[in-house]
Structure formats: structure tokens, C-alpha cells
Chains A and B, each alone.
Chain A
């Protein structure tokens, strides 16, 4: 498996994703500049956290016009896995790859802490190594993570089991339906505010994020076995 970690101007969790993939999960990964226009040779694409374009105008609003975005759109349309954490999630909503939007936290402040999440759907390519209903701990670090969508969209998300992660004990930002992470209808695009890549090593005190990467690998293994 080969994973693309897309780097936008102002991305700053790119190294965290890259190291989680390469050093910890021993998966091949490469940084791909926002200026590139194709993703040939990659099996999955990841959009890191950070402050693309300084969060100017609106989080993710400028990044979504990057050269690389049509290639990501196409990649997603082919049903291949696309993952965005934090600013990556914001970019995916701005690009229309995921429904809804991320607003400023209710507290109006940036918040960095570990929160409890419930795995609502373990039938995705990103969550198959978790138990359904399992509560895990992952760090969040954002100022704009309050998920918003209109009632119709929310109802559809719930009906189609697109809500993958939900804040379990405390809602840290005011997200509707306590939503922390969602997929698209097809299930191959996941966006989430928490940072699984920060929770993959015992030395740093938390490994609950590791299975997200392992899930992706397991899906790949199954696919390869089927060939």
C-alpha cells in the first residue's frame, strides 16, 4: 500500500501523518504537494491538519482550489480511500467531498485536549478494526470544529450510518448530533476533527488511533487476497 500525504501551504500535521504511517505502521507514504495534479500510484490519500492558507477567508476555503484537488475528487469518485483530519476535514467539506461545514467552536477558543469518542460505524475501510459502540480516546486540537449541516442532511447522515465517530461524554465544540467524524455516502471518504495520528505510540501515552490506520491496511489486505 502507498499513501499520499497532501501538503498545502500552512499544513502542519503532515509530518505526524507521515510518521504514523511510515515509522509506526511501516506503510509506504509520500508527501504530495498541493501544486501536483495527479495521484497515480497511490492507494489512499490523506489530508493533514494545520492551517492551510492561514485559515484566511475560512478554514479550508482557499486550499480547496489547489491544483491537487481535481485529482483528489477523481480519486474519491473511483471509490478509493480519502481521509482528512482536522484541517483536512475542513478542506473536504469545503470541496464538497463531504456534506456540512465546520464552524467556530462554541467556546470561541482553540482547544487541545483528549476527548472520548464512540465508534458509531465499524463497517468502513477506516474503522473495521474497532468494535461497534466502542469508546476510544483521541486528541483534538482545533478552533473551528463545530460540525453543522441542515436537518435534512443530518437525517440522511444518520440514516445512512455516515456518522462514524461521535463525542461520547463531552461535546467540546458544539457539533450538531455530537458529530466528530463522518463519511460520504459511499463510505470511502472520511473526515474527522480528532487526530488519530497523534495516538499511535505508547511513549506519547495513547494508541487508540492506531487501529484507524490498521483498518485501512486490513481492507487493503482483503482486497489483495481477493485478486
Chain B
């Protein structure tokens, strides 16, 4: 850090450009918002608060398209996390957040602190975190760097979540070359609360105390938010300093202390917020802004890990495991005592003031005196320019790829070994998926299912994001991401309640990227409206580029659903010999962006068929009714690899086999037409089931007691070896990770 520049030197030398603030923004701040030149500290605060990561200045116009209201919504976007009513005076709280940039640079700590951050968002609302999910997208497992990233990111997620005692119950892991330099690490946390315990991040009431709790402030993570708002290049290795280091033990103590405060001492507490991106500055000014208050802080009171930190460093540090509280005047001591009983520091660092100024004192000097709203509400929104990517304009003119002449059995076995399809057990078994003993269905099914103690209900949850489809058609891909998540919940017997999202894209100043963002959000929003579910929280991660190579546009959907009778949850596994097998939904030749196309062509191309949302939603409802009525023995949503892979997966970890006859070509067994399910039904329930499904259910075979897979297609009859299939599927990722590349 250079010696502090004077306001005039800042104006002349423009150090703010390196911090991510544009000249236009700087001029607007000095001329319109302040009427003077901002000093060094103030300029730093503006740079970080006006970054895309904190202000959403470019994505906001697009995000407004999401529906965010509904009869269950108790808290929509804008707080630490969204909250939905689930009846019985209880609520479910959830949010997802990306930690892509830190994980690309320092994978263990990047992933670990991503988990830590999202957990704090959940308990800052007053909820007990009950489950974690993560959506990971890596490059192909053929480079040492990718293997290192996978090992470290997975270890970071497990290291933090396991220690916190929050089960990691689900998620997804996919592999594609576009994520090689820029892996995606999106973590979602789900919490459960009594509605009476709901908290907000606000600071109000003149004279009330602003208290700092948790870990001390160090120099780590300074400019993490602006770091996440810039793309990578090889000559910027020094960005490593922007990554924080996590301490899950400290966070476990902080979690228990904060929950004791929010659940037992609401009369002491006005508001609580996590110190996440942009640390103390964002949490404090947002808490003041939301309550339209003024705030004055004494930075010398902030617990510091190292000597000689400047005001700028104290305010921008992204040290982990810290929370900011607003405490009613007079209750500072009991709060201190409560935190001390957990071995934690709680310190008064300032007060809520009259007026609307945000004032900081450091070492006897007033280092900041600006309107609160100038940091939060006055940010200049940037309307991005949009252009349809040239690849999509060209795609319309190209012939559609169709698989021709291939060896079905060989393709079947090879497909099971594709990392995106292969078993993820080697990853998921390093996560504690059972702690707190509520996990009814853990990793490996369509969705995870948790029971809610002392009720008959359960929650199902999933994350989904298929960048390939969004790459080929952002709007349809956006619809598909939401529908796929809903299908996963429905297959588990849950009614979808709402979503959170992580929008992972490239540089939004690239008009093609901005168009992709806009179109896919449009598609997601349309699907949400069709399902009548709100988007209650989320996060945007832009600038996912390495040396100008952008990732596939990859919106991740995290969805939570409600199961009214937990005894009626459903899994993908076959249960009984003699059960009849049904294929739900029509299969057509849909290979654009499919796993088959990727495997055979080593690239994806083509056009996606448009989606009839109304029809899709009606189909989901029929399946949900069948599960809720207890008519199904197993339900598996068809996704990557199509029917052939769904059939195989439903037999794995059972002693059962399949006898199947389908009116489909060999290739169609791998088609990825959306909106389809594989359902097994006990013979006694077939009549009721087919009546409920009307003409949608096609009988395709039977579950048999032998470990055999006999498949008759329009082309030929095949005897497939299920034990071999399962072994290939199980060993694929461990083998790739061990192989020398």
C-alpha cells in the first residue's frame, strides 16, 4: 500500500482506477454526491461499495425481472438470505453464494470461506443452518492443475462444513473444458427457524450501540469484492493476497453465540449482519442505510490482529468469522458477557446517530464523513450493451448434429464413465452428510431430503446448473435450469417453494456476455412464474474469464421444496422385483448440448427445442401427485445421458435388474429431451397410477430379481452387464484422479 495520497493527489494520479472505480464514477461522487474531493479512505470505501460484487450495478436492471413475491415470502432479496413460510410458525431460510475467484487462486481457503460466508448469512437471519449443498464445475480431469483444484476445493468445503457440524447433503459436480481456468464454486446453505426469531440487518435508534463480534480484523481479503469484479490474467498472480483464511471452529462458536442472542435475548438486539464482502464498511453502512440512520464508528476500537492498520485497511478487510450487531443502549454489558461465555470478543465500536452521515474516526482524526446512502443507494447503475453472440447467429445456419452408427453397448459403458455422469461418491463421502441426524436422503439421489423434527414434514433441496444448454440458448437454458431443479424436487415428493441462484458469467462489459445474462435471467424468471415460485435470494458472479476465455454462462439454481408427509419421500432406487417401469414424457431427438454429443463430438452445438412451460409444469404436477398419493416405488428425473443412464442408475446399490422394451432408437436412449421421468410402480398400484398420469405414462418394462439388464430398442436387443456398469461408474472419477496426466 502506498503512503496515503491527499485528495488532490488522488484526483490527479487516479489510483481509484486500479481499485475498480471509473473516472465517471469518481467525478460523479466528488461533484454530485459530496461536493468535494473524497479523501484516501473515502475513495477506497466508494471503490469497494460501488464494485459489481457489492452494488450489482450492472446486473440490477436484469435481476428486476425475477419474481420475488408470493404468499410464502417472509423475506425476499435484500437481506442476508430469503425466508419462506412453511407453516407451523416455522420458516425455511436459504441462499447461495459463489466463491469462484478465491477458489481459482487459493482453492482450499477459497472454497472453505465460501462455505463459511454463506453459513453466516443464514444464521444472521436468526435461523439454525441445517444443510449445505454445493454446485461445482471443473475443467476436464486431465491436467494436474485441475486435479489439484478438485482435491483442494472439495477438501475446503468438507473441512469447513464438517467442523461446523452442518451436513453437506447434496449438490452437483460437472466437468467441461471451459471451467479449466475458472472453476465454479457455488455454495448453498439452508436454515430452519421459528418465525418469531426472524432478524434483520438494521441499525436504528439514536444512541444504540454498534457492536463487533468474532474474529479480529487482519489484512486478509482487502479488496476481495473488487477482486471478484475483475477478470484473471496470468500476470496478476499477486491477487493471491485477496483470499481470506477461514477458521470453522471460531465460526461454530460464533454461530452458537449468535443463535443464543437471537433466540433468547431479542429484547437486547436491534439488528445483526454478517461481515462478508467488503467487511466492516458494507455491513455497517448497509445496516444504517436499511434503517435510514446515521452512524459513527471509532476504528481504534475494532479488534485488530496486526499493528499499524490504516482506516482503509480496517474498513475493507475481509477477515472471516465476524458479525456486526446493533444493540439497544444499556445492554452492551450482557451482550459482552454472553459472547465471552463462548470465548469470543464483543466490542462497542460505534453508535447509531441522528442524521444520515456515515462518520469514521481513526487515531484522533475524522477520516470519513459522507452520506450513508452515497455508498449504498446512489450507485450509478450501468445499463449493459447487449448483442446476440455471433456463434448463435451462425448456429442457426448450421445442420443439426445427429448421432449416426454407433455401438450402443460400448457407448452405454463409456457414457457411465463420463465424469459428469459417473459416481461422485469419492467426493461426497468426504463430507459429513448425516450430522444433526435429519438426513433422510443424502448425496446421490435427485434431491436431498431432510426431516423436520417434531413435525411430520420434510424439506427437499437441490442445486442445478447446466451451462451447456445456456451456452446454446440462454433463454431456453435458463428455463431448463429451473425446470430441472423442480423435477429433482418433484421426483423426491416435494412441492417446490422457491429458489436462490448464483449467476456465473463472463465480463458483463462484453455485449455478448451481457446478452447471455439477460436472456438466461428472462428464461429463469419465466419458468419461476410458470411454477409460481419466487426467487428469494441470490448472488451474481461476473468476470469469470481467464485470459479472455469466458466460461459457459452458468446460472445455478438452488431450489427448496416441502414434503408434507415425510414418510412419502421418494428416491431413485428400484425397490421391488415385479414392479412395473414407466417412462413419463415424450422422447424426441434432442442431442444439442447432450452428454452424448459432448462425448462423441468433443464439443457441443445445435439448437434447443423450445419449451412449453405450461405443459412442463402440468407434467411435474402429475408426477408430484403420484408420489404424494404413494403410488410410486421409485422416481428418477431424466437428465444427463437420458433414459439409458437413468435406467442404469436406478439399479445401482440394489440387487435388482431390468427387463425393458422401448419404442425408441438406440440413439434416443441417450436423448436429453426435458420433462421426463422413470418411475417404478407396484403391480397393485398400476391401474391407479396410469389413470392419474392419463396418456403420459408409457409402460416400458419390469424390475427383475436378477442383476441383469435386458434392453430391447427399435434397433436391436441388448444384454447389458449391470455389475460391470456399476463398477465402471463407481471407479471412473477415482481412476481419472489417480492417472498421471
Give residues in A with beta carbon < 8 Å to B: 9-10, 12-13, 15-16, 19-20, 23, 49-51, 53-56, 109-113, 139, 141, 143, 195, 197-198, 201, 203-205
Contacts and interface: CB of A to CB of B under 8 A. Distances in A.
17 contacts: A9-B249, A10-B163, A10-B249, A10-B253, A15-B436, A16-B436, A16-B437, A23-B453, A51-B249, A51-B252, A54-B250, A109-B430, A110-B158, A110-B159, A112-B433, A139-B434, A197-B437
A198 B430 contact: no
Contacts of B248: 51, 54
Contacts of B162: 51, 110, 141, 143
B333 to A, nearest CB: 20
A56 to B, nearest CB: 7
A12 B249 contact: no
B342 A198 contact: no
Contacts of A205: 440
A143 B163 CA distance: 11
Given A10-B249, A51-B252, A112-B430, 16 more contacts: A9-B252, A12-B163, A12-B252, A20-B437, A51-B248, A51-B249, A55-B249, A109-B155, A111-B429, A111-B430, A141-B434, A141-B435, A198-B434, A203-B440, A204-B434, A204-B451
B247 interface: yes
Interface in B467-504: none
B440 A12 contact: no
Contacts of B440: 203-205
B429 A113 contact: yes
B165 A13 contact: yes
A17 B718 CA distance: 50
B431 A112 contact: yes
B133 to A, nearest CB: 15
A188 to B, nearest CB: 26
Contacts of B431: 110, 112
B433 A198 contact: no
B527 interface: no
A148 B448 CA distance: 36
3 tightest A-B contacts by CB? Answer: A12-B165, A54-B249, A51-B163
| Majority-rule SS of A interface residues | mixed
B728 to A, nearest CB: 20
B640 to A, nearest CB: 24
A54 B252 CA distance: 9
Nearest to A205: B440
Contacts of A56: 249
Contacts of B430: 109-112
A141 B432 CA distance: 6
A55 B160 CA distance: 12
B566 interface: yes
B355 interface: no
B136 interface: no
B252 A10 contact: yes
Nearest to B341: A35
A143 B249 CA distance: 16
B627 to A, nearest CB: 17
A13 B253 CA distance: 15
B75 interface: no
Contact of B342 (A9, A110, A203): A9
B723 to A, nearest CB: 18
Given A112-B430, A203-B451, A13 B435 contact: yes
Interface string B229-258: 000000000000000000111101100000
A112 B249 contact: no
Contacts of A141: 162, 432, 434-435
A68 to B, nearest CB: 15
